[in-house]
């Protein structure tokens, strides 16, 4: 056995109790909302066949997929030729499986493999970790959770409106108040490209304006020129990227611009329908902002796109998504339209820490610790411990007789809010001494009173 | 993009909504019990350094660890010599990380790395998947969950008693009634080896008697002979493996046998203390059975050992564990005693399916589906949908106007127990038509009544 000092691999994290309790709180709020909106859980395996993942995330993505070495003598199919051809060719000979890179491709695979059993529309949510061999840096890890919800098999824009509702509900429940749900439509972007005389080049335009936050207006324009977009077109584009006013007003300003673009008109019509749903749902529409500069990199979106920013906090988007018309096409099943979005839990966690939104009780597991001074007190405490737990109260008995200070330190370090002190006097009278660890206050109470108080 | 038919790797599983809802129910019962007993959650990363895992599970275990290929040009450190030396030597050059094989070794690593921040005794639970490159077969998968709870940093036998309580509570809550919690002590096994004249050979004796269930008494004796245990010793052993009666009576029968063995006496004393705790906790002791043939393979146990069988069902143990005195020694931190156990969720799931213990409501996500016949009804339904969800009721509106039959099939296939039918009459009167999908019964109710009924 090695006695070396153990360490974690780069970009990997342990989650100890205090952090995990807060993370689990975020997960539970997300899960609860997904379920109340009728989404059903799905879990796919950690390992997929490498062939399922390869070619879905671009060349760079392929490099970032973690590959798993074949079991047993993985070398037996490798020839010297393979090795001379380099590691990429060798990879295919010694690795057939890889770790999940996102939740979207496994979901598409699941839908295709189970299309005869699934009743469409299929509303699924999935909360699982994914792995990417990215260079680790602040806020970027090699293992992180994604929380996705998608509806496939319907074109209804009710789904888009419900996504906005879910984002609003999750963030509000978590205590966030100042956030903006940005919305745009690929049709608008396509229509704008047409309108400025760059028909068909919306992809390149999107890649550039997607960087607006990072490199500013000037930077975007410079990149557009580098990408061969005409100066004249950029001049026409400029006002369209800084439309202001209410969403209705922005739509009205776009009407004449997009009048000759079928895709542009589709975008306008669909956005108006989403806003109409939201009005009926009575959501505070101030939070929803039509933003013609919202592009989102992923090329598979075909309809509405979303992104969520927390205002007055230095942090990228904490949620995003959109509609795609051909998710399962990559596995030979065309024509399945869907819309989905994802929460970034690591970022939400960081924002909540920064804004001090975690209630102290979130991080507390055990509600009450019973002290343990000697064998007699220990035995006396056993049925009390059991009654507390039966009442649904998380309770512990310190497992051995120890000094008061040690037991108090244990309660403090574990954020246990109450300690039940049981000594000879308490055993005689049956009145137990309940200490509030935050205020220091002590009360003599009957067990029944304690049960009510702690519940 | 490949258009090949997608498939899952061998031994990997998708969990669709119906199965996952039941699995999540089991997890939530386990988690709830762990937390009520004061255990705190921990999560460790999927990938560990290969050096952390190697050498901890025996030679066979090392072979079953899934190794992850280094990112980038993994071949650049490999020489022709390495390749000629075979795949084992090459593995170390091209793979530095591996997938978690169990939860125990990562837990030990965590304790050692965080020993200065942890307040001992440390009670942690961990519910995460593990991976083993085992040959897949019925009930054995290459990815499966473990649910572990351990206390480290105390010798208190209260922990052993609480493990029995937790097993009892989890299984009882899940609806299992006929199960046996078997308990034994390594000291008893050591003492028996001494008593029959085979001092120090309890390891070999344990390996053999561990197979009693599979190969029977005769098989065990044959194996003992093969392992070089004397016939005379086996004769002395025979009655000690078939002691019967109450636990107290078995202990009394063992007293004279183990009188000269320090380890044997320790075993007797500790078991008596555990039984005494259980008596004070008032657990139905019929379920706890001292079994001198219980050995458990893992060599690191040093005190009490546990195993749980569901009676009258063809299934191996669904839970097990024990005390170990040197868990963190493998990482250079000796003297940390601990006791822990684990639930086998896949087996519990199968047993519950066989005994039909899953309540139908467990598998149901959405409580009520609102029908969608036309745009007017859809708009009328939006605030109703919102009120249902605000009341905590999982609700869906069928996302597009469709034929009644299609919507009913959707509700049926998704186990949705109620459908709210809203047509022109309902919109006029405000009395909504609530259909119970199990009984077929329909009622005209005000929304307020429906909220109360479905809550």
Predicted confidence (pLDDT) per residue in A190-216, tens digit? 999 999 999 999 888 888 888 888 898
Closest residue to A15, CB basis, from B20, B42, B72: B42
Span of A235-239, B82-86, B289-293 with lowest mean pLDDT: B82-86
pLDDT at A3 over 60: no
3-state secondary structure of B309: strand
Domain presence at residue B417: yes
Q: Is A146 annotated as a binding residue?
A: yes
Q: What whole-number distance in Å separates Cα of residue A369 and Cα of residue A417? A: 8
Strand order through the sheet with B47-49: A47-49, A97-99, A67-68, B67-68, B97-99, B47-49
Strand partners, A184: A305
CB pairs < 8 Å spanning A and B: 299
Which residue range forms the structural domain that includes residue B63?
47-99
For B182-221, write each residue's pLDDT tens digit.
Answer: 999 999 999 999 999 999 898 888 888 888 888 988 999 9
Q: Residue A78 has what pLDDT?
A: 84
* B314 touches B350 (CB < 8 A): no
Q: Residue B432 has what pLDDT?
A: 97
Interface contact flag, A378 B409, Cβ < 8 Å: no
Q: What whole-number distance in Å separates Cα of residue A229 and Cα of residue A222? A: 10
Domain presence at residue A276: yes
Q: What whole-number distance in Å separates Cα of residue B4 and Cα of residue B288? A: 54
Do A202 and A307 fall into the same domain? yes
Q: What whole-number distance in Å separates Cα of residue B90 and Cα of residue A76? A: 12
For B253-264, write each residue's pLDDT tens digit.
Answer: 999 999 999 999
Domain presence at residue A17: no
For B415-430, write each residue's pLDDT tens digit.
Answer: 999 999 999 999 999 9
For A279-321, write each residue's pLDDT tens digit.
Answer: 999 776 669 999 999 988 656 799 999 999 999 998 889 999 9
Nearest to A50 by CA among A85, A83, A90, A92: A92
Nearest to A295 by CA among A285, A307, A286, A287: A307
Nearest to A340 by CA among A160, A106, A114: A160
Do A196 and A261 fall into the same domain? yes
Strand partners, B49: B97
Residue with tokens 């879905």: A56
Q: What's the residue count for chain B?
A: 455
3-state secondary structure of B20: helix
Please list, in sequence order, all residues whose beta carbon lies within 8 angstroms of the beta carbon of residue A31, skipping any fewer than 6 positions away.
A125, A127
Q: What's the CATH number where B280 sits?
A: 3.30.930.10
Distance, first Cα to last Cα, chain A = 48
Q: What is the mean pLDDT of residues A29-56?
A: 96
ipTM of this predicted structure: 0.92
Domain presence at residue A133: no
Interface contact flag, B158 A41, Cβ < 8 Å: no
Q: Residue A104 has what pLDDT?
A: 94
Phi-psi region of B86 (alpha: psi -120 to 50; beta: other; left: phi over 0): left
Do B199 and B264 fall into the same domain? yes
Number of helices (H) and strands (E), helices first, in chain B?
Answer: 18, 16
Q: Which residues of B touch A8 (CB under 8 A)?
A: 45, 48-49, 113
Chain B from 95 to 114: CB within 8 A of any A CB: 95-97, 99, 109-110, 112-114
* A32 touches A116 (CB < 8 A): no
Distances in Å between the Cα of B168 and the Cα atoms of A152, B164, B278, B291, B333 are 42, 6, 11, 17, 33
Q: Is A200 touching B (CB cutoff 8 A)? A: no
The alpha carbon of residue A363 is apart from the nearest alpha carbon of chain B, in Å, by 10
State the CB neighbour count (10 A cutoff) for residue A329.
17
Residues A414/A418/A424/A430 CA torsion (nearest 10 deg)? -140
Q: Which residues of A touch B389 (CB under 8 A)?
A: 36-37
Do B420 and B303 fall into the same domain? no
The secondary structure element, H or E, covering residue A377 is helix A375-390
Q: What's the residue count for chain A?
A: 455
Do A375 and A298 fall into the same domain? no
Domain boundary residue among A99, A115, A135?
A99
Q: Which residues of B touch A159 (CB under 8 A)?
A: 399
Q: What is the mean pLDDT of residues B296-319?
A: 89
Could you tell me the two tokens for A14? 């342990």
Closest residue to A95, CB basis, from B40, B69, B282: B69
Do B218 and B296 fall into the same domain? yes
Nearest to A106 by CA among A327, A320, A322: A327
Residue of A nearest to B68 (CA): A68
Domain presence at residue A227: yes
Q: Residue A2 has what pLDDT?
A: 47
Residue B331 DSSP label: G
Domain presence at residue A35: no
For A437-447, write each residue's pLDDT tens digit.
Answer: 999 999 999 99
Interface contact flag, A413 B52, Cβ < 8 Å: no
State the CB neighbour count (10 A cutoff) for residue A173.
13
A27 pLDDT tier (thresholds 50, 70, 90): very high
SS3 string of A65-114? CCEECCCCCHHHHCCHHHHHCCHHHHHHHHCCEEECCCCHHHHHHHHHHC
For A330-385, write each residue's pLDDT tens digit.
Answer: 899 998 999 999 999 999 999 999 999 998 666 668 999 999 999 999 999 999 99
Domain boundary residue among A311, A331, A349?
A311
Q: What whole-number distance in Å separates Cα of residue A274 and Cα of residue B114? A: 50
The alpha carbon of residue B316 is apart from the nearest alpha carbon of chain A, in Å, by 25
| Total domains in the fold of chain B | 3
Q: Residue A1 has what pLDDT?
A: 44
Domain presence at residue A139: no
Q: What whole-number distance in Å separates Cα of residue B309 and Cα of residue B319? A: 8
Could you tell me the two tokens for B53? 């895992």
Q: What whole-number distance in Å separates Cα of residue A75 and Cα of residue A210? A: 44
Interface contact flag, A20 B41, Cβ < 8 Å: yes
What is this structure's pTM?
0.93
| Helix-helix angle B231-240:B212-226, to 10 degrees | 150
Q: Residue A268 has what pLDDT?
A: 98
For A243-291, write each residue's pLDDT tens digit.
Answer: 989 999 999 999 999 999 999 999 999 999 999 999 999 776 669 999 9
Q: What is the largest CA-CA distance in chain A?
A: 92
Domain presence at residue A424: yes
Do B290 and B203 fall into the same domain? yes
Closest residue to B1, CB basis, from A6, A45, A330: A330
Q: What is the mean pLDDT of residues A8-33?
A: 96
| Helix-helix angle A262-281:A186-195, to 10 degrees | 140
The alpha carbon of residue A421 is apart from the nearest alpha carbon of chain B, in Å, by 17
CA A8 from chain centre, in angstroms, equals 24
Phi, psi of B65 (to 5 degrees): -75, 130
């Amino acid at each position: 056995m090695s006695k070396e000092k153990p360490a974690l691999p780069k970009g990997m994290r342990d989650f100890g109790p205090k952090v995990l309790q807060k993370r689990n709180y975020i997960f539970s709020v997300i899960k609860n909302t997904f379920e109340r909106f009728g989404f059903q859980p799905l879990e796919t395996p950690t390992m997929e066949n490498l062939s399922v993942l390869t070619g879905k995330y671009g060349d760079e993505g392929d490099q970032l997929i973690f590959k798993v070495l074949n079991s047993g003598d993985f070398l037996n199919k490798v020839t010297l030729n393979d090795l001379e051809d380099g590691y990429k060719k060798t990879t295919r000979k010694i690795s057939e499986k890889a770790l999940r890179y996102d939740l979207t491709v496994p979901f598409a695979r699941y839908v295709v493999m189970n299309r005869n059993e699934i009743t469409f529309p299929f509303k699924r949510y999935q909360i699982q970790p994914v792995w990417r061999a990215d260079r680790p840096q602040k806020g970027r890890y090699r293992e992180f959770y994604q929380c996705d919800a998608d509806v496939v098999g319907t074109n209804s824009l009710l789904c888009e409106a419900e996504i906005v509702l879910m984002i609003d509900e999750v963030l509000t429940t978590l205590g966030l108040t100042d956030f903006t749900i940005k919305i745009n439509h690929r049709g608008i972007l396509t229509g704008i490209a047409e309108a400025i005389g760059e028909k068909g080049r919306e992809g390149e335009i999107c890649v550039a304006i997607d960087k607006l936050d990072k490199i500013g207006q000037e930077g975007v324009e410079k990149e557009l020129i580098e990408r061969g977009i005409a100066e004249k077109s950029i001049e026409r584009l400029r006002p369209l990227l800084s439309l202001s006013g209410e969403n209705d007003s922005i739509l009205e300003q776009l009407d004449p611009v997009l009048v000759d673009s079928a895709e542009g008109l589709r975008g306008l019509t669909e956005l108006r329908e989403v806003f109409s749903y939201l009005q009926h749902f009575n959501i505070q529409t101030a939070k929803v902002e039509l933003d013609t500069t919202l592009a989102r990199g992923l090329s598979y979106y075909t309809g509405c796109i979303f992104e969520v920013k927390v205002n007055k906090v230095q942090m990228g988007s904490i949620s995003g998504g959109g509609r795609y018309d051909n998710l399962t096409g990559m596995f030979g099943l065309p024509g399945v339209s869907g819309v989905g979005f994802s929460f970034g839990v690591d970022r939400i966690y960081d924002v909540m820490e920064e804004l001090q939104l975690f209630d102290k009780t979130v991080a507390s597991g055990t509600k009450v610790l019973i002290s343990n001074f000697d064998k007699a007190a220990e035995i006396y405490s056993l049925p009390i411990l059991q009654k507390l737990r039966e009442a649904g109260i998380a309770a512990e008995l310190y497992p051995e007789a120890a000094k008061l200070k040690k037991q108090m330190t244990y309660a403090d370090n574990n954020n246990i809010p109450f300690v039940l002190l049981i000594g000879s006097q308490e055993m005689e009278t049956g009145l137990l001494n309940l200490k509030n660890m935050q205020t220091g206050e002590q009360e003599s109470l009957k067990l029944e009173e304690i049960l009510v108080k702690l519940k």
